[in-house]
Amino acid sequence: MVSPNRFSIPPTIVKRAAPTPTAAPPPAAHSDDQIRCPTCKSTNCKSARMIFEQGTHEREFTGLGVGLRGGVGLFGGIGQSQSLMAQRCAPPSRRSQLGPVLMTVGCGLIAAFITTAAINAPNAPHGMNDPGPNTSALWTVSVLFLIGAAMGLMWLAQTASWNAAQFPKRLLAWSRIWVCAKCGASWEVADGK
pLDDT digits (tens, 9 = 90+) for 121-153: 665 555 555 555 566 777 788 888 889 999 999
Backbone angles phi, psi at 79, to 5 degrees: -120, 160
- Name 148's Cβ contacts closer than 8 Å, sequence gap at least 6: 103, 107, 111
Above 80 in pLDDT, residue 23?
A: no
As a whole number, mean pLDDT of residues 145-172 equals: 92
Share of the chain above pLDDT 90, in %: 21
| pLDDT tens for each residue of 80-104 | 888 888 888 889 999 999 999 999 9
Between 67 and 2, where is the model more confident? 67
Q: Give Cα 158 to chain centroid, integer Å.
A: 19
Query: Do 173 and 44 form a contact (C-beta atoms < 8 A)?
Result: no
- Residue ranges of the domains in the chain? 45-188
CA distances from 96 to 37, 66, 80, 154, 171 (A): 35, 38, 20, 14, 16
